[in-house]
Amino acid sequence: MHFTPVITDSILYIGANDTDIDLFESKYPVKNGVSYNSYVILDEKVAVMDTIDARATDTWLTNLLEALSGRDIDYLVISHLEPDHAANIEKLALLYPDMKLVGNAKTFAMLPQFFSLDTKDRQVIVTDGEILSLGKHTLQFFIAPMVHWPEVMVTYEQTEKILFSADAFGKFGSLDHEEDWLEEARRYFINIVGKYGVQVQALLKRVADLDIHMICPLHGPVLTENLGYYIEKYDTWSSYRPEESGVVVAYASIHGNTASAARKMVKLLWEQGEKNVVLYDLARSDVSYVIADAFRFDRMILAGATYEGGLLPCMENLLLQLKSKNYQNRFVGLIENGSWGPVAGKRMKEYLGGMKNVTVAENIVTVKSVMKEENVEQMRELAKILVVA
């Protein structure tokens, strides 16, 4: 993804790529790294838009000093206190003792949890819609609680019509890695912010009337063209609507027999004319990819082996996380396996029953150890139900 440190004549990018990180938030694999974005607005007053993760402090400070060319900083705008953006607040405040910190009431309520810095005389506490003039540039703040923490706010710069969007519209992947926005933006959004769809919808409505020419997120590329495309994706994801027609087939198999049934299920779906099918081995796939596709498509088949009177942990983990991300409005078919006392189907159905507007196909296919011809027929019936669901 190509990027330039010059965003506009007076706005510079001072963030950093992190290609050494293995797991973002100690959870999400990021094989192409991640970027921590930060920006400087140079005007009569100088504003820094967020700091970055402690993992890249040196690069950020070098970029910052170069961008400032000897100027002081008047304001540090704190969009979000999560350490991937806020780790350097105290360091910057100590380096620039005249710099004011701009945040909302929740920002300053939470800030002492992270830092011992006394900010009482340096706080600019803003409310929703409030304006701060830098000279030619005017910042307008919109409080965006739970996108993705309670204190989050986004900033609209009125003159150049730029939305500094905090975590929203971000993606995994460092900025020196060329890749399409969609896949890793979807995986980022669904897994990290997906739980808070209602709050994202509220933010989208709040900024709907703004004339936005550019979006500067805290991760991933600056978005400059075709902004309606990105906003439409956010609207779809945050309203829990499927993005496209298709089926995720996800299996948890102990010795390979449930896997065989799942692979057969894919072929039966193809046979019924369903071409958009993605297969996941849950024991060998990171669950964040499965969840992203579960939200992308409108239907899902879960094939689970019975294990110790319950579910294999990788299937249980998927279901727990789907619930946590507010998975809803989908149709799901179930295949269970068990050599004695199969209960996987019942357990999977119980989990899905706790999710909003998730319909489970009535007939659960039960495989006893190894798929038989009668199971193939049952799965064919399930495939027929899936393609018209």
- Kindly list the residues in this chain that would bind ligand FEO in the complex (CB under 6 A): 80, 82, 84-85, 148-149, 167, 218-219
Comparison of 80 and 296: residue with beta carbon closer to ligand FEO: 80
* Min dist. Cβ of residue 73 to ligand FEO (A): 22
The answer to whether the beta carbons of residues 361 and 331 sit under 8 Å apart is: yes
Tell how far CA 308 is from the center of its chain: 33
Comparison of 152 and 303: residue with beta carbon closer to ligand FEO: 152
- The strand ranges marked E within 144-188 are 153-157, 162-164
Comparison of 193 and 365: residue with beta carbon closer to ligand FEO: 193
134 has which bridge partners?
none
Comparison of 189 and 240: residue with beta carbon closer to ligand FEO: 189
Q: Which residue is nearest to ligand FEO (CB)?
A: 82
Question: If you count DSSP H runs as helices and E runs as strands, how many of each does the chain have, helices first?
Answer: 12, 23
* Min dist. Cβ of residue 273 to ligand FEO (A): 41
Comparison of 203 and 335: residue with beta carbon closer to ligand FEO: 203
Comparison of 45 and 219: residue with beta carbon closer to ligand FEO: 219
* Min dist. Cβ of residue 167 to ligand FEO (A): 4
Give the separation between CA 314 and CA 282, rounded to whole angstroms.
6
CA distances, 371 to each of 232, 293, 338, 368 (Å): 43, 26, 11, 7
The answer to whether the beta carbons of residues 361 and 336 sit under 8 Å apart is: no
Helix (H, G, I), strand (E, B) or coil at 113: helix
Comparison of 230 and 331: residue with beta carbon closer to ligand FEO: 230
* Min dist. Cβ of residue 119 to ligand FEO (A): 21
Give the separation between CA 366 and CA 194, rounded to whole angstroms.
32
Residue with tokens 């579960």: 294
* Min dist. Cβ of residue 339 to ligand FEO (A): 44
* Min dist. Cβ of residue 24 to ligand FEO (A): 9
Comparison of 39 and 307: residue with beta carbon closer to ligand FEO: 39
Structure tokens at 380: 């064919």
Amino acid at 174: S
Give the separation between CA 84 and CA 91, rounded to whole angstroms.
14
The answer to whether the beta carbons of residues 36 and 218 sit under 8 Å apart is: yes
Residues 6+ apart with CB under 8 A from 113: none
* Min dist. Cβ of residue 192 to ligand FEO (A): 7
* Min dist. Cβ of residue 356 to ligand FEO (A): 24
DSSP assigned state of 334 = E
Helix (H, G, I), strand (E, B) or coil at 235: helix
Q: Where are the alpha helices (DSSP H) in 161-281?
A: 181-188, 197-207, 227-238, 257-271
* Min dist. Cβ of residue 193 to ligand FEO (A): 8
Give the separation between CA 175 and CA 34, rounded to whole angstroms.
8
* Min dist. Cβ of residue 347 to ligand FEO (A): 32
The answer to whether the beta carbons of residues 171 and 188 sit under 8 Å apart is: yes
Helix (H, G, I), strand (E, B) or coil at 33: coil
Comparison of 84 and 184: residue with beta carbon closer to ligand FEO: 84
Closest C-alpha to 76, from 106, 108, 111, 102 = 102
Comparison of 3 and 96: residue with beta carbon closer to ligand FEO: 3
